[in-house]
Amino acid sequence: MPGALIAATDWCTHPRDAAPHRVGGTKNPDLDRVLALAPDLVVANEEENRPADLDALRTAGLTVLCTEVRTVAQAFTELERMLTACGAPARPRWLDTAEDIWDRLPVPTHRTTAVVPIWRRPWMVLGRDTFAGDVLARLGVDNVYADHPERYPRTPLDTLRPAGIAVLPDEPYRFTAEDGPEALPMPCALVSGRHLTWYGPSLTEAPAVLGAALRALTPAAG
């Protein structure tokens, strides 16, 4: 829907030129700027945006749709809800393609355990109920912190739970071959953060892209 998106955060990158205005970050949005633009709809996320900011926008009279995505199945439900709220004339082909790809994904014949760091200084890892954790589980990788009471626990390296591998995304912290693996006591798979943590058109590519990165480290994985 060309022209439908009038503003995005400073961190929105795909596509970079989709929105003519930038309104700050998810944690520090320029609320006055948002109000001045007078959008018909503000799309937010319960994990990324602060409730106080969303309440302020609602109090000022704006309609706010807040998504909650902690599984792959929820991603498809929330994407369809968001597109409907935005007035999409039809369900986009990429969404049907992505859902079909994930529905047809074979059950892995080999499973491994993983720790999934998402930040350094301090070290933080994926905990319970995360979209990225569900993505990995569907690819045969079980997060050893999936039962942790926190979703993103701080985890000093000397208390790290044992795991078969570490999965290191390039966002939100940009782990690289030179920054991350040297500190961890297990083999490390460097993966695309966009394919691990984003839900959108990247869902059509995620199983193949992530699967290739994981198989390179664990050749027996299926």
Answer yes or no: are the C-beta atoms of 2 and 19 closer than 8 Å: no
- The correct CATH number of 7-67 out of 3.40.50.1980, 3.40.50.720, 3.30.43.10, 3.30.1490.100 is 3.40.50.1980
What string of pLDDT tens digits covers the 222 residues of the chain? 556 788 888 777 766 676 788 888 888 999 999 999 999 999 999 999 999 999 999 999 999 999 999 999 999 999 999 999 988 888 999 999 999 999 999 999 999 999 999 999 999 999 999 999 999 999 999 999 999 999 999 999 999 999 999 999 999 999 999 999 999 999 999 999 999 999 999 999 999 999 999 988 764 444
Element (H, E) at 88: none
pLDDT reported for residue 15: 65
Say how far apart CA 80 and CA 92 lie, in whole Å.
Answer: 9
Ramachandran class of 13: left when φ > 0, alpha when ψ lies in -120 to 50, beta otherwise:
alpha
User: Are the beta carbons of 155 and 140 closer than 8 angstroms?
Assistant: no
Name, in order, each residue with C-beta under 8 angstroms of 188's C-beta and a sequence gap of 6 or more.
Answer: 165, 166, 167, 168, 180, 181, 217
* H-helix or E-strand spanning residue 15: none
Per-residue pLDDT at 217: 79
Q: Is there a common fold for 7-67 and 103-217?
A: yes
Q: Residue 9 has what pLDDT?
A: 83
Per-domain boundaries in the chain: 7-67, 103-217
- How crowded is residue 56: how many other Cβ atoms within 10 Å of its Cβ? 16
Taking the C-alpha atoms of residue 81 and residue 1, their distance in angstroms, rounded to an integer, is 16
Looking at domain 103-217, its CATH class is: alpha beta
- CA distance between the termini of the chain: 38
Closest CA to 72 of 212, 195, 193, 186: 195
d(Cα 186, Cα 64) in Å, to the nearest integer? 43
Q: Taking a C-beta distance cutoff of 8 angstroms, is the pair 152, 101 a contact?
A: no
pLDDT at 16: 67
In the prediction, which pLDDT does 222 show?
40
Identify the helix (H) or strand (E) that includes residue 65.
Answer: strand 64-67
**pLDDT, tens digit, 9 for 90 and up, residues 26-80:** 889 999 999 999 999 999 999 999 999 999 999 999 999 999 999 999 999 999 9
DSSP letters, 143-210, are ETTTT-SSSS-B--GGGPPP-SEEEEESSSS--BTTBSGGG-SS-EEEE-HHHHH--SGGGGTHHHHH
